[in-house]
Chain A
Amino acid sequence: MPFLLDVASWVLLSLGGAFVFIGGVGALRMPNLYTRMHAASLTDTMGAVLIIAGVMLQAGASLATIKLAAILLFLLLTSPTASNALASAALLAGLRPGDTAAPHEDRGE
């Protein structure tokens, strides 16, 4: 049983890491702010959920698991909110989703 748990958590952690990596590549390679946010949101959602689930399997039935669940809930509430605020701020600043590069955006970000 511990072996199965280890395998499951290993799979979850690897998948989570893969999603974080994909999110990072997307944030670097996508053409404009909205698509980059779309890619980066993978890190917040799939990456965070899978990694925390994997760590929870490692922690077992303990207080640490409850704390991790609280952190996960907090992340699931705040990251979409932050994405929403960022996107609306960009829209309000006059950045259209179709533009390939922002007028005053630092390229070497």
Chain B
Amino acid sequence: MIVLFGIFLLTLMVITALAIVQTQHLFVAVILAGIFSLLMAANFFLLDAADVALTEAAIGAGISTVLFLGALALTAEHERAASANRLLALGVVAVTTLIVIYATFDKPRFGDPEAPVHQHVAPWYLERTPETIDIPNVVTAVLASFRGYDTLGEVFVVLTAGIGVLFLFGAKPRRKAGPPRLAAHEPGDGLRHYLIPRVVGRLLIPFILLFGLYVQFHGEYGPGGGFQAGAIVAAAVILYALLEGEAQALRVLPQRLLNGLIAGGALLYGAVGVAGMLLGGSFLDYSVLTANPVTGQHIGILLIEVGVGITVTGVLISVFHAFAARGRV
């Protein structure tokens, strides 16, 4: 049954991917990309990767679509006709496809317990998690503790991307004097005259924030963690900005505070690592944080997940504001 679902979802994904390539209308392509991410999330869920599915749904289908739409608002709606050599592209794609298909012959069978990936470090993680970290979600244990360096690197990637976007978009002063370009209705005013979305949105935003906090602090017990929670909280704030207008959202969460959040989250993560060093352990070794090593692991994971969540929230909201402010200049 699972295999049937998998084949169904993968077929839909192939169709969606072909449609994305085929359409000239970029707006349609962005929406299709969101659908593709949602199908991918369902597929991850079928493969029992609930953490990845949550991330894909929150970031791939949710926030990315919003950011793409923000980018589209600044550029053209239609793709320019390709003038490059199409036969060459076709040849490259065909050769790559053949190589990839050939490579799949060497892959272990689906779900094979003898596959190399299940023989290397995975058994060690599964064995060690209950005794050294003692949390039910092994994914969080691997992500936050065993492979803490990797996650620190990911947080700094997000941080660097955020800084890059803010530099690119902050090159001009935020609000120049001059007539606003958007003509349909006052920009930055939000959906002030759309009564129903505003009422329902106001009703939902607290619950979205609550769900974000749940995902943040429940990551040790179920699927979730800083990346997903950051995306959900950022989605709530972006929804607020859409409903009440950019200016109001920036009044609630000013850009200076957002900059502080972006840097502060990464700093918190690094500080936890340094604290481990100062207390006599190695970098990002949480066991030395308290007298009981297991409690130390719990505290360390909680703190670094908060750091991840803060940075991701700050970067996503800032990028959204950067796009929106660019449209207004």
- A-side residues, CB < 8 A to B, are 74, 77-78, 80-81, 84-85, 88, 92-93, 106, 108-109
CB distance from B195 to the nearest CB of A (A): 9
CB closest chain-A residue, reference B185: A92
Q: Decide: A106 and B196 in contact? CB cutoff 8 A.
A: no
Q: Is the CB of A85 within 8 A of B194?
A: yes
- Digit string of B26-51 for contact with A (CB within 8 Å is 1, else 0)? 00100000000000000000000000
> For B184, what are the chain A residues with a Cβ–Cβ distance below 8 Å?
92-93
Inter-chain CA distance A13–B194, complex, in Å, is: 35
Of B104-112, B197-205, B319-327, the segment with at least 4 beta carbons within 8 Å of chain A is: B197-205
Q: Which residues of the other chain, A, contact B25 by a CB distance below 8 angstroms?
A: 106
Query: Would you give 5 A-B contacts (Cβ < 8 Å), ordered by A?
Result: A80-B196, A81-B196, A81-B197, A84-B196, A108-B23
- Is there contact, CB below 8 Å, between A106 and B23? yes
- Please measure, in the bound complex, the distance between the C-alpha atom of A77 and the C-alpha atom of B25, giving whole angstroms: 30
- B28 near A81: Cβ-Cβ < 8 Å: no
Beta-carbon nearest neighbor of B31 in chain A: A109
Minimum Cβ distance to chain B for residue A88 (Å): 6
CB neighbours of A78 from chain B (8 A): 200, 204
Given the interface pairs A77-B203, A77-B204, the reply to whether A109 lies near B28 with Cβ below 8 Å is yes
Given contacts A85-B194, A88-B194, contact A77 B200 (CB under 8 A): yes
**Contacts A74-B204, A77-B203, A84-B194 known; 4 new A-B pairs at CB < 8 A:** A77-B200, A81-B197, A81-B200, A84-B197
The distance in angstroms between the C-alpha atoms of A84 and B25, with both chains bound, is 24
Complex contacts, A81 vs chain B, CB 8 Å: 196-197, 200-201
**In the complex the two chains form, is A85's CB within 8 Å of B204's CB?**
no
CA distance in complex: A81, B199 (Å): 9
Residue of A nearest to B195 (CB): A84
B-side contacts of A80, CB under 8 Å: 196
Min CB distance B240 to A, Å, is 15
For residue B201, which residues in chain A have a CB less than 8 angstroms away from its CB? 81
Closest 6 CB pairs of A and B: A81-B200, A106-B25, A84-B196, A85-B197, A81-B197, A106-B28
